[in-house]
Structure 1
Amino acid sequence: MRQQSSPHLSRGFSSYGCALALAALVALAACSKKEAAAPAPRPVVASIVHPDGQALQAGSLPGEVQARYSTPLSFRVGGKIIERRVRLGDTVKNGEIVALLDPADAQKNAASAQAQLDAAQHNLVYAQQQLERDKAQAKENLIAPAQLEQTTNAYASALAQRDQAQQQAALAKNQLQYTTLVAGHAGVITAEQADTGQNVSAGQAVYNLAWSGDVDVLCDVPESALAAFAVGQNASVTLAALPGRKFSARVRELSPAADQQSRTWRARLTLAQPGPDVRLGMTADVTPAVPLATAAAQHGLFTLPATALFHEGRQPAVWVVRAADNTLELRRVTVTRYDERTIVVSEGLKDGESVVLQGVHTVSAGEKVRAIAPLHPEDFAS
């Protein structure tokens, strides 16, 4: 005989199943909320920064050998060059004639000035004789005082004309001498800028003369290495044309302002004992006594791409990824220079810190991130 189930028992099992299903759904929802509360760290483009000098692969800077003094040689009057006595690379002595202008016009001017001087001298002699006669006659009251005054004035006028003629003659003589170009110092001809038969104006360069004596090495110094090239600092110089030899040098001069294009400072170092085999124009490597990386670290300059710059109010700042917990920190910095693609930071950063380079306006302080290197580092090169 079959037994029938109670309706109350069926409804109890149904309610129990619904409760189990509801509990499972609640558990799944709780797990989902727990997973959403801990998202993966956000990737950001960042890079470890170092002082500028540590990025230099070599401890030296390229340079060039030049004479300490180099001046153009030019005529002090205009004219036509009729002779050049030296050529490029020739060694000249002090007072040596290097070129000549056509002297015809200058000779005529000098002759004319000399003739005027002779005439003025003759008039002065006549006026002096007349003055002496009138003075003698005035003592005897043979002439009127007014006549003596006229004679005195005539003598004074003749004397002034003679003096003027003397100056004109001297000037004409100098103009004639200026048609001869003379080297004012011993040295080497490093450039020819005019040729025989050419008409040149007064002051137009004909040659360039590099003086003998002290020899300098010129190099362009970046801002991060300025401390190593202060005036008076020692350095060693090697020349590609003279392998195996090292020369001592001292910084003699450092330009007060940076070049507008290269943003570097021109330094002049004087070689202690260059020797005759050191030729002008040789390429050199200049190694300062203070290592470049050390100088840069002392200077504390960091070059960053302009895309890393953020602002906290009106103050410049950058995002720094803290190494301890990989969270973002907004760090105020001091920017000493703004360039087209880069900025130079002097305060606020330390060597080895990681700085966000891109997307600085999409992150927030305290955010946990994962630093990744730039896909194309050359885009962020300074």
Structure 2
Amino acid sequence: MNIKTPAWRTLALTSLVSCLLLGCEQDATTESVAKKPRPAPVVETATVEERFVVDEIDAIGTLQANESVVISAAVTEPVASVNFVDGQQVKKGDVLVTLTSDEQAAELAESEANLADAKRQLKRIKSIGKNLASKSDIDAAQAKVDATKGQLSAIKARLADRLVTAPFDGVLGFRQVSVGALVTPGTEITTLDDISIVKLDFTVPEVFLGKVHTQSLVSGTSPAWAGQIFEGRVASIDSRVDPSTRAIQVRAEIANADHKLLPGMLINVTLFSDQYPALVVAESAVIQSGSRASLYVVKDDNSVELRNVTIAKRMPGQVVLSEGVERGDTIVVDGTLNLSPGMKVRVLGEEQSSLARESDSSNIHSS
């Protein structure tokens, strides 16, 4: 006897069998994917190089004029004339102020007349002849000439004191006197600064004393001249260390032909010490964990080794290492986050070359 199976039961049985078969296929696919090895991560590398490094010491300094003086009178006299304006650039010997000198001018004229008369008398006595003029008469006439010359020189010196002149080339400050003012020795007339060269004074800690030498290069910047760098050299180093600050004063000289730098300005200073060879790597290669620094070194079989390193100096975008690597080592500079010690890697440049070779090979087979 044939028993007819309902259609719905046949359909359900067929679906169950299909699901079981499909599930087996999916499990096989998943197992196949799980067994497939992950590709090695691609990293960017660089070679450890030895370069010359210059230590930089930062400080803050103050500018001073190369030569600076307060102009004043040597005698007490009224001002007869003022021959300069504020901020004028003058040469050595230029007359800045003339003091009243009528009395000295009269004495000068009298002394010149007396000298001329003394010379005539000496000439007359000598012309008489040795038989008529005694040696004592000639000596007396000569002594009078010499004495009159001395008086004349003294008067000229007093006249020179009435002329206030520039002792060196430079730039004058503000005028502090007017015509008719009575000046005395020490009265400030103006100031004079030689700023063709400026002196930059700054201090450095005593621990850097061995790295500071005369003729060491310095560079400075000023907020007044944004973006401009002024260069000079160390001219002298103080002979004492300040016991309260444990710092030593250093003086550098900077050429200032355009007079942009003025005495009293604040300068941010960078002092460059001697050059020395060192191992330099990119800062991105260093993995910092607390106080410990490390980096990945790529070995010959393209596996990576994690090495601890010692950082001797940091520079913008780079670090100087004193221990942990050697010159010529290949290190990972980009892609360190995906690495672990012993892992195989693919180098970025080599990966691109491999892809290019595979592309060329496929083109040959297809043709």
8 Å contact 1:80–1:198 — kept in the other structure? yes
Counterparts of 1:88-127 in structure 2, within 5 Å, are 88-127=86-125
In structure 1, C-alpha distance between the alignment counterparts of 2:230 and 2:242, rounded to whole Å = 27
In structure 2, distance between residues paired with 1:64 and 1:282: 6
Cα distance 1:60–1:194, how it changes in 2: closer, same or farther (>3 A)? farther
Q: Which of 222, 226, 229 in structure 2 is aligned with 1:243?
A: 226
Query: Does the C-alpha gap of structure 1 residues 245 and 265 become closer, same or farther in structure 2, counting only changes over 3 Å?
Result: same
Deviation at 1:272, TM superposition (A): 4.6
What is the TM-score of this pair, normalised by structure 2? 0.51
Residue by residue over 1:117-136, the C-alpha shift from the partner in whole angstroms, topping out at 9 and shown as x without a partner, is 23322332343244x1xx34
Question: In the alignment, which of 60, 63, 66 is matched to residue 64 of structure 2?
Answer: 66
Q: Which amino acid aligns with 2:227?
A: G
Distance 1:93 1:198 in 2: 25
Counterparts of 1:75 and 1:282, CA distance in 2 = 29
Cα deviations by residue, 1:183-242 (Å, 9 ceiling, x for unpaired): 233211146565544433456553321125222222244444444443222111111111
In 2: Cα distance, 1:207 partner to 1:220 partner: 31
Q: SS state of the match for residue 168, structure 2?
A: coil
Superposition TM-score, scaled by structure 1 size: 0.49
Asked if the contact 1:66/1:280 (under 8 Å) is kept, the reply is yes
Structure 1 residue matching 2:215: 3-state secondary structure: coil
The structural deviation recorded for 1:104 is: 1.4
Aligned to 2:199: 216
**Deviations for 1:125-157, whole angstroms, at most 9, x for unmatched residues?**
343244x1xx346xxxxxxxxxx6xx2101111
Q: C-alpha distance in 2, partners of 1:106/1:129?
A: 35
Q: 1:275 to 1:128 in 2, by over 3 A?
A: same
How do 1:8-87 residues align onto structure 2 when only pairs under 5 Å count?
60-87=58-85
Say if 2:196 and 2:257, in contact at 8 Å, map to a contact too. Answer: no
* Structure 1 segment 246-261 matched on structure 2, within 5 A: 246-257=229-240
Mapped contact 1:235–1:287 kept (Cα < 8 A) = yes
Cα distance in 2 for partners of 1:129, 1:262 equals 80
Given the superposition, is the C-alpha separation of residues 119 and 98 from structure 1 closer, same or farther in structure 2, using an over 3 Å criterion? same
1:188 matched residue in structure 2: 171
2:69 counterpart SS class: strand
The aligned residue for residue 350 of structure 1 is none
State the alpha-carbon separation in 2 of the partners of residues 120 and 72 from structure 1: 43
* Aligned amino acid, residue 72 of structure 1: V
Tell me how far 1:263 sits from its aligned partner.
Answer: 7.0
SS at match of 1:161: helix
Amino acid at match of 1:111: A
Unaligned runs of 5+ in 1: 1-57, 138-147, 292-382
Identity, % of aligned positions: 23
Distance in 1, Cα, partners of 2:67 & 2:212: 21
Mapping of residues 165-176 of structure 1, within 5 Å: 165-176=148-159
Matched with 2:138 is 155
SS of structure 1 residue aligned to 2:60: strand
SS class of match (2:149): helix
**What is the CA-CA distance between 1:254 and the residue it aligns to?**
2.2
Cα distance in 2 between the residues matched to 1:286 and 1:269: 10
Contact 1:247 1:274 in 2 (8 A): no
User: SS of 1:216's equivalent?
Assistant: strand
- Aligned match of 2:12: none
Change (3 A) 1:273 1:186: closer
Task: Quickly say closer, same or farther: Cα 1:200–1:125, change in 2 above 3 A.
Answer: same
Preserved CA contact (<8 Å) 1:191 1:209: no
Question: 1:42-101: per-residue Cα shift (whole Å, max 9, x none)?
Answer: xxxxxxxxxxxxxxxx95222223321223334444422233232442222343221111
Q: Secondary structure at the residue paired with 2:138? A: helix
The residue identity in structure 2 corresponding to 1:278 is L
Deviant stretches of 4+, over 6 Å: 259-263
Determine which structure has the larger strand proportion and give its number. Answer: 2
SS at match of 1:157: helix
Q: CA, structure 1 residues 116+63, in 2 after alignment: closer, same or farther (shift >3 Å)?
A: same
Could you tell me which residue of structure 2 aligns to residue 231 of structure 1? 214
RMSD: 3.2
Whether the 8 Å contact between 2:65 and 2:262 is mirrored in structure 1 is: no
Pair 1:288–1:110, CA change in 2 (3 A): same
Contact 1:215-1:274 within 8 A present in 2 as well = no
What is the distance in 1 between the residues matched to 2:175 and 2:234? 31
SS of equivalent residue, structure 1 residue 168: helix
Aligned length: 219
